[in-house]
Every structure is written in C-alpha cells, then in structure tokens.
C-alpha cells in the first residue's frame, strides 16, 4: 500500500515535469524556428538584392550571424533552381568556396549519414567545377580520378555504396553532374545494382543531363558488354532524342536480354522513320508480352500507318495488354486505323472486338 502511494506520488510529480517539459520544448522550438526563418529570409534578401542589381555578392556582405551551413545550403538550393546565368554561377562559387567547402569536406568524412548528406548537398551545387579546379588539392581525394579508381577511390564514390538510400542517391547526382566519363560509367554500373524502383533518381539526373552527358552515355552504350547496363543506358537515351540512335538500338533489338530489347523498342518509339517502323513491327512478335505491348504503343506514337495489318493481328493476341495497346495505336492512326477497329467482328474475334469497342469509346 505504501509502495502504491509512493508510485502514485512519483507519477504525479512526473506528470508535472512532463507538462513543464512540453511547455519548455514548445517555447525553445518556436524560438529556434523563428530565428531560422529570420536568418534564411535575411539571406534571401541579400541574394535577391545582389542578383536584381546585377552585382556579385562579396563574402563581407554575409555577416557572421547569417553564416550557418544549413541555412546557406537551403537558400543556395532555392536560388539554384531559379537562376542559371553567369552571375549566379559566380555567386555560388564565391559562397561555396568562402563559407561552405571546408565544412562540407569534413561532413563528408563523418561516419554519420546525416552529415554525409549535408556535405553532398554542398558538392551537388557545383560538382563539375570542384572536380576540374586543380588548386583544390585537398579535394582530390574526393574523386581519386585515376584510371584505377575503385569503389573506395574517393569519398563521394565511396558514398555511392552507402547503406542509406538517400545518401547514395545524392552521391550519384554529384558524380553525374561532373560530366566525367569514368565517373558516369561508375554510376551506371552502380545504378543497375539498385532495385529497379530505386533507380529513378539516377535516371532522372541522367535525363536532365546536357548533350555532353548524353554523348558519354551513347559512347558507353556502344562498347558496353553487360546487358543490364546496356538496358539502363538505352532506357535513359530513349527518354531523350539524341542524334540518330536507331543504329545503336538496332544493335540490341535481338538481344537475349528482355530489358535490352524493351529499351531498344522504346528508342524506336521515340524516333519516327521507316527503320523504326520495321523494327517495331518485328517486335510485335517478341516472346515477352510487355515488349510486344510496348512495340504496339510505339507504332501508335510514330503513327506507323503501314503497320496497321500487323496491329490488327495483334488485336487477337492472347495478351490483354497487347490487345489494348494495339487498339489504342490503331485509333491514333486516323481514319484508316479507326476503320480497322470498326471492322472487328464480334463473333469471329470477340476479344479483338472488345478491345476495339473499348478504345473507340474512350474520349
């Protein structure tokens, strides 16, 4: 009984302490958030003023009170999404070199994933310059850009194998932005080791790359042996119309790997022309039903009117996905395609008829 009284009293005291803690936490957080907001607003004002007046920001303009690593990173990232010009690039260089780089390198060396991520966010802002500027000798270990670098050949490269997905993601973005062939090849090899759904940030960054990056990818696709890597490269290239990819895709149209063939089909589907029409029509007989459906979709995209007979046959395929795509493709081919859909016989080929009617009714 006495013990129960004591426990009860302890609980009452703990409840009061908890209430007090909640109030204190609330006040502290409010103050912290308010101060962070003030600092970031002040930084934004400085940057906006400088950019509007076409002036380069000098380090002296950023007072010590505003020199907070995370605040600077957040504000730089915001402006980086909005500005591309030479003035902004110079501004970024000044801020990174003066205020952020040293701390970023230390953060990259940390064993905490959170620090690694913060460090990478700084590198990602100016990855291409950092690798090329020789006088940052202390940063050479970031890349170890020699012919024999391996997974541990540089901090950022090492982070590409980090256990935490968001760290790997950002490390890949940094390396892709360098526009360096060896590094990009390394990233692609790492990318294909990721689970397919997790490859999206790599893919996104490649697709957003400029013509240099695309040329590098084309070059890699020409000489690559690993089918997984080939499929990934072709898949990225299919999202961008970069030169004449048809010969490259034609090389892999009969690949034993399903994903390679699929990626080749997607390339053909992006480039209208007789060669694409021929290859896509052939792909309607691909052993993989996803590839067949993609081929039908591709024929619709490039409005391959000559392939109408092949698509009509595809309407009778046992794969539901192919029947649907074939019907959609026929509908996109104007009067001829629609006529082919209307001709489908409800009793001779009920599945083809169903697909045709469905697609004709879609707005």
Partner 1 sequence: MLDVLRENFLQLSSFWYTTFFLYFFILMAFVYTVIFITATPYIISRYREKAIDDVYSLTRSDSVAAITFIVPAFNECKNIAWTVRNLLNLSYRYKKIIVVNDGSTDETLEILIKHFALVKIPLFSSERLQTKPIIGYYRSQEYADLMVIDKVNGGKADSLNAALNICQTPLFASTDADTLIEDTCMNYLMRPFLENKDTLVVHSSVGIVNGCKLSANRITKRAFPRNMLAAFQVIEYIRTFYCDRMCWEWSKGSLIVAGVFAFFKTDTVLEVGGYSTKSVVEDMEVIMKIHKKMGEENREYHIRFVPDIVAWTEVPTTLLALKKQRLRWYTGTTQCLYDYRKMCFDKRFKSIGLFVVPFYIFDKIIPIVELVGYLIVIIFGVILGVLDLKMFLILGLVCWGYSTLLSFALIIVEELTFRKYPDFWGTLCLLGYALFENLTYRFYILYLKLRGLIITKKAGKHWLVTPRKGYNVIGG
Contacting residues toward partner 1, per CB under 8 A:
1, 4-5, 7-8, 11-12, 14-15, 18-19, 21-23, 25-26, 29, 70, 114, 117-118, 121, 165-166, 169, 195-201, 203-204, 207, 239, 320-321, 324, 354-355, 357-358, 361-363
Nearer to partner 1, 59 or 350 (CB): 350
Q: How many C-beta neighbours within 10 Å does residue 197 have?
A: 6
Shortest CB 198 distance to partner 1, Å: 4
Shortest CB 117 distance to partner 1, Å: 6
Task: Record the tokens describing residue 353, joined without a space.
Answer: 């008829």
Shortest CB 1 distance to partner 1, Å: 6
Shortest CB 203 distance to partner 1, Å: 4
CA-to-CA distance for 32 and 135, rounded, in angstroms?
Answer: 38
Nearer to partner 1, 113 or 149 (CB): 113
Shortest CB 118 distance to partner 1, Å: 6
- Of 55, 37, 36, give the one whose Cα is nearest residue 46: 55
Which H, E and C letters describe 264-309, residue by residue? HHHHHHHCCCHHHHHHHHHHCCCCCHHHHHHHHHHHHHCCCHHHHH
Nearer to partner 1, 16 or 65 (CB): 16
Task: Record the tokens describing residue 236, joined without a space.
Answer: 């990225």
DSSP letter, residue 68: -
Q: Identify whether the C-beta of residue 90 lies closer than 8 Å to the C-beta of residue 56.
A: yes
Q: Identify whether the C-beta of residue 239 lies closer than 8 Å to the C-beta of residue 207.
A: yes
Nearer to partner 1, 144 or 288 (CB): 288
Nearer to partner 1, 57 or 236 (CB): 236
DSSP H or E run through 42: helix 2-52
Q: Identify whether the C-beta of residue 335 lies closer than 8 Å to the C-beta of residue 306.
A: no
Nearer to partner 1, 57 or 160 (CB): 160
Shortest CB 145 distance to partner 1, Å: 27
């Amino acid at each position: 009984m006495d013990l129960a009284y004591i426990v009860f009293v302890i609980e009452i005291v703990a409840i009061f302490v908890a209430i007090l803690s909640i109030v204190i936490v609330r006040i502290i957080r409010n103050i912290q958030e308010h101060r962070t907001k003030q600092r970031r607003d002040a930084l934004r004002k400085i940057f906006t003023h400088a950019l509007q007046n076409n002036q380069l920001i000098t380090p002296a303009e950023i007072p010590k009170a505003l020199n907070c690593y995370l605040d600077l990173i957040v504000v730089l990232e915001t402006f980086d999404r909005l500005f591309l010009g030479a003035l902004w690039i110079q501004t970024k260089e000044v801020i990174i070199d003066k205020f952020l780089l040293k701390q970023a390198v230390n953060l990259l060396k940390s064993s905490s994933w959170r620090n690694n991520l913060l460090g990478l966010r700084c590198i990602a802002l100016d990855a291409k310059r950092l690798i090329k500027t020789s006088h940052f000798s202390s940063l050479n270990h970031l890349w170890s850009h020699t012919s024999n670098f391996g997974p541990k050949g540089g901090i950022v490269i090492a982070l590409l194998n980090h256990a935490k997905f968001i760290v790997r993601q950002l490390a890949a973005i940094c390396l892709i932005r360098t526009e360096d062939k060896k590094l990009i090849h390394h990233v692609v090899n790492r990318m294909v080791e990721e689970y397919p759904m997790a490859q999206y940030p790599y893919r996104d960054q490649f697709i957003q790359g400029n013509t240099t990056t695309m040329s590098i990818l084309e070059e890699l696709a020409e000489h690559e042996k690993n089918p997984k890597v080939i499929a990934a490269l072709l898949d990225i290239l299919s999202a961008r119309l970069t030169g004449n990819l048809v010969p490259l895709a034609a090389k892999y149209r009969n690949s034993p790997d399903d994903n390679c063939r699929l990626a080749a089909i997607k390339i053909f589907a992006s480039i209208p022309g007789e060669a694409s029409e021929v290859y896509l029509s052939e792909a309607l007989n691909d052993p993989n039903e996803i590839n067949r459906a993609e081929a039908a979709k591709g024929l619709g995209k490039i409005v391959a009117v000559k392939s109408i007979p092949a698509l009509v046959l595809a309407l009778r395929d046992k794969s539901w996905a192919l029947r649907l795509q074939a019907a959609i493709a026929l509908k996109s081919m104007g009067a001829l395609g629609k006529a082919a859909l209307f001709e489908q016989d409800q009793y001779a080929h009920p599945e083809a008829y169903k697909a045709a009617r469905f697609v004709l009714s879609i707005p």
